[in-house]
């Protein structure tokens, strides 16, 4: 989907849903340091659990919001030469999993290409690297912190934090978010690989099921393998259901017809 909107900035300007954390309480540098260390310990522990990819990404957004308190948070993952929006603090169901940014394009793409963090305190849209796209209906954010997600030196994605008002990102804040990017990189990659393995496993199981259903039809109808496949395909189209469901029905029917062993 190629609609245009302001690239990195979620600028809907609407109020956050209820449940958003209150602004962080001002603490001494040592207190903040202890809080950040505790945060890193907790995120390490929670990400050690083998969760699905989107749950891992939602945890990252939750953690970043709790520690930084930004108005908007995006997680982009690298897929071939595109950065794909995979998680967002604000609800963007039409854009999550659909919005794509080319590496090198805009601030987010620049961060991915150069593997360096970018911190802009105000007028982010005035930055020379900024580009306009049309997928998020946005305008109005002033500050952005964008850091790469890395795993073993390889680029995994980009984290974006945004503020509606001017926000001077301290070096401590930049270092913290960069550390989180490095910390979660391997976990995000693991979760993504788990998703791919699950998908391939499902495809293999479906293929085995189709082979068994074809064999049953060949035996019962005295048809060739190709004719049996076409019958499954035709029934799938007629009933408007996946071929896997048709194959399951054929196999179940065959099982029920078999004599029950005493």
pLDDT band at 183 (very low <50, low <70, confident <90, very high): confident
pLDDT band at 46 (very low <50, low <70, confident <90, very high): low
pLDDT band at 68 (very low <50, low <70, confident <90, very high): confident
Measured torsion, CA atoms of residues 245, 234, 217, 252, in degrees rounded to the nearest 10? 20
Q: How far apart are CA 161 and CA 67, in angstroms?
A: 11
Residues 117/138, Cβ–Cβ less than 8 Å: no
Residue 8 has pLDDT above 60, yes or no: no
Comparing 66 with 220, the larger pLDDT belongs to 220
Residues 157/28, Cβ–Cβ less than 8 Å: no
For range 69-88, the mean pLDDT: 88
Neighbours of 230 (CB within 10 A): 14
Average pLDDT over the chain, rounded to an integer: 78
For range 164-184, the mean pLDDT: 87
Q: How far apart are CA 9 and CA 102, in angstroms?
A: 16
Q: What pLDDT is recorded for position 38?
A: 65
Q: What pLDDT is recorded for position 216?
A: 93
Beta-carbon contacts of 52 under 8 Å, excluding residues fewer than 6 positions away, are: 191, 194, 195
Give the pTM: 0.61
Q: How far apart are CA 5 and CA 139, in angstroms?
A: 8
Q: How far apart are CA 251 and CA 256, in angstroms?
A: 9
Torsional sign, CA 209, 213, 219, 225: negative
CATH class (in words) of the domain with range 196-257:
mainly alpha
Bridge partner list, 74: 88, 160
Q: What pLDDT is recorded for position 251?
A: 92
Bridge partner list, 145: 119, 161
139-167: per-residue pLDDT in tens? Answer: 568 899 999 998 888 899 999 999 989 99
Q: Where are the domains of the chain?
A: 29-186, 196-257
Q: How far apart are CA 141 and CA 165, in angstroms?
A: 7
Q: What pLDDT is recorded for position 246?
A: 92
Q: What pLDDT is recorded for position 95?
A: 80
Give CATH for domain 29-186: 3.30.450.40
Look at 39-43, 115-119, 161-165, 222-226 and tell me which has the smallest mean pLDDT.
39-43
Beta-carbon contacts of 43 under 8 Å, excluding residues fewer than 6 positions away, are: 59, 60, 63, 180, 183, 184
Residues 184/85, Cβ–Cβ less than 8 Å: no
Comparing 74 with 24, the larger pLDDT belongs to 74
Q: How far apart are CA 172 and CA 169, in angstroms?
A: 8
Residue 136 has pLDDT above 90, yes or no: no
């Amino acid at each position: 989907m190629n609609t245009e909107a302001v690239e990195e900035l979620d600028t809907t300007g609407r109020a956050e849903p209820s449940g958003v954390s209150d602004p962080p309480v001002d603490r001494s540098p040592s207190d903040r340091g202890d809080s950040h260390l505790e945060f890193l310990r907790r995120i390490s522990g929670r990400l050690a659990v083998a969760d699905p990819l989107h749950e891992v990404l939602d945890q990252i957004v939750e953690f970043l919001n709790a520690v930084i308190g930004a108005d908007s948070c995006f997680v982009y993952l690298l897929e071939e030469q595109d950065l794909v929006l995979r998680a967002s603090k604000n609800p963007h169901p039409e854009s999550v999993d659909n919005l794509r940014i080319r590496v090198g394009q805009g601030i987010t793409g620049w961060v991915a290409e150069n593997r360096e963090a970018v911190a802009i305190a105000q007028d982010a849209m005035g930055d020379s690297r900024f580009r306009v796209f049309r997928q998020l209906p946005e305008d109005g954010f002033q500050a952005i912190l964008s850091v790469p997600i890395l795993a073993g030196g390889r680029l995994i994605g980009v984290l974006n934090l945004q503020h509606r008002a001017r926000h001077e990102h301290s070096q401590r804040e930049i270092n913290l978010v960069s550390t989180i990017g490095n910390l979660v990189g391997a976990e995000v990659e693991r979760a993504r690989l788990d998703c791919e393995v699950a998908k391939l496993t499902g495809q293999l199981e479906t293929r085995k099921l189709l082979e068994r259903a074809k064999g049953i039809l060949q035996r019962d109808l005295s048809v060739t393998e190709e004719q049996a496949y076409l019958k499954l395909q035709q029934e799938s189209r007629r009933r408007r259901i996946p071929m896997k469901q048709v194959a399951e029905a054929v196999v179940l029917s065959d099982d029920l017809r078999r004599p029950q062993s005493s």
